[in-house]
Amino acid sequence: MEESEVLEIFENTNALLEGHFLLSSGLHSNQYFQCAGVLQYPQYAEEIAQDIAANFKNVNVDLVISPAMGGLIIGHEVARAMKTRFVFTERSKENDKMVLRRGFDLEEGEKALIIEDVLTTGGSVREVLKLLERENVLVAGIGFIVDRSDNKVKFSAPKYAVYQIPLVVYQPGNCPLCKKGIPIDRPGSRKKKLI
Ligand code: ZN
């Protein structure tokens, strides 16, 4: 996909918001990317997944694996495009570790493609990598819709992102948007009812 096509999808679906945002890390930013904005439209999810699948067309994979929740929709679409099965990891309620549940079974020597929606620090993907290593499953590649890491996060397998939007962040005490008095928004969190 051309960058302009991807950007048009993000704009059409209000996925890329401009303003003044409080991120879950506590830092402030002038931009927020809401992946669910795009993925609420299956036709866009399909188009983006086909782009990721095309990038990995020369590798034979047995399955696509994604960390829940972020990777579920896009991972499933990539698996459809690559005609493989799809499994997902989730956090154990007991110890918060990334685990496979629901009877998902990995076989030694299988080849997997990891798919996640957004790359910021790469924490969840690293946990999936560890899990696959323990199961002796090979990783053919790692795909994202958006890379916000400014290409600073590296993995042991080839990485591909449909679009790069480096994340601009400010410390709360040193934020130009705060200084301008622009009200801050908490995307993703429920707004307080006024009545
Ligand atoms: Zn601020």
Residue 191 lies in a domain: no
The pTM score is: 0.89
pLDDT for res 188 = 62
The answer to the question of residue 170 being in a domain is: yes
In a domain, 184, yes or no: no
How many whole angstroms from 178 Cα to the centroid of ligand 1? 4
Give pLDDT, residue 189: 55
What separation in Å is there between the alpha carbon of 175 and the centre of ligand 1?
5
In a domain, 8, yes or no: yes
Residue 185 in any domain: the answer is: no
List the CATH number of the domain containing 47: 3.40.50.2020
Separation of CA 166 and ligand 1 centre (Å):
18
Count how many domains the chain has.
1
CA of 4 relative to ligand 1 center, distance in Å: 29
| Domain-embedded: residue 72 | yes
At CB < 8 A and 24+ separation, what contacts does 29-35 make? 29/167, 29/168, 29/169, 29/170, 30/168, 30/177, 31/165, 31/167, 31/168, 32/185, 32/187, 33/118, 33/146, 33/148, 33/165, 34/187, 34/188, 35/70, 35/74, 35/117, 35/118, 35/145, 35/146
**Looking at the domain assignment, is residue 187 inside a domain?**
no
From first to last of the 195 residues of the chain, give the pLDDT tens digit. 898 999 999 999 999 989 999 987 889 999 988 999 999 999 999 999 999 999 999 999 999 999 999 999 999 999 999 999 999 999 999 998 999 999 999 999 999 999 999 998 899 999 999 999 999 999 999 999 999 998 889 999 999 999 998 889 999 999 999 999 999 998 865 444 444
Query: How close is the Cα of 169 to the center of ligand 1, in Å?
Result: 9
Q: Look at residue 115 and tell me if it is in a domain.
A: yes
Question: Which amino acid is residue 181, in one-letter code?
Answer: G
Q: Which residue range forms the structural domain that includes residue 51? A: 3-179
